[in-house]
Amino acid sequence: GAGVSQTPSNKVTEKGKYVELRCDPISGHTALYWYRQSLGQGPEFLIYFQGTGAADDSGLPNDRFFAVRPEGSVSTLKIQRTERGDSAVYLCASSLIPTTHLYNEQFFGPGTRLTVL
């Protein structure tokens, strides 16, 4: 079946501009996650959705970052007034159900590479 898809695969923008990154999770997955991976680092958690609501947004670095998931499926990560330090690969993942005590396999998309000039 189809995996997690993300669009665009690459995005180049100028400092100060607004960008939107889209994630289509695996059909039927109720949990959706956003991570950011800087060069040479592991992914860092940004935000987690359970259904339509953000259950944990503790990883968002500041109020320029915002994410929505209005119908409990597709999610959009929005970045306002982009800065050069926002350049990274933004990863989306989904899982069938969120679990706290059992394994929590998250299926990752290919990522969107954001470059802020």
Partner 1 sequence: GDSVTQMEGPVTLSEEAFLTINCTYTATGYPSLFWYVQYPGEGLQLLLKATKADDKGSNKGFEATYRKETTSFHLEKGSVQVSDSAVYFCALSGDGNNRLAFGKGNQVVVIP
Binding site for partner 1 (CB under 8 A): 3-4, 31, 33, 35, 40-45, 48, 55-56, 59, 91, 93, 95, 98-111
Q: Minimum distance from CB of 95 to partner 1 (Å)? A: 8
Residue 48 vs 82, nearer CB to partner 1: 48
Q: Minimum distance from CB of 81 to partner 1 (Å)? A: 26
| Structure-token pair, residue 33 | 């996650």
Residue 3 vs 16, nearer CB to partner 1: 3
Report how far residue 5's alpha carbon sits from residue 110's, in angstroms, rounded to the nearest whole number. Answer: 7
Q: Are 81 and 16 in contact (CB under 8 A)?
A: yes
Residue 82 vs 106, nearer CB to partner 1: 106
Q: Minimum distance from CB of 2 to partner 1 (Å)? A: 13
Beta-sheet pairing, 19-24 with 10-13: unpaired
Question: Where does residue 43 fall: left (phi above 0), alpha (psi -120 to 50 degrees), or beta otherwise?
Answer: beta
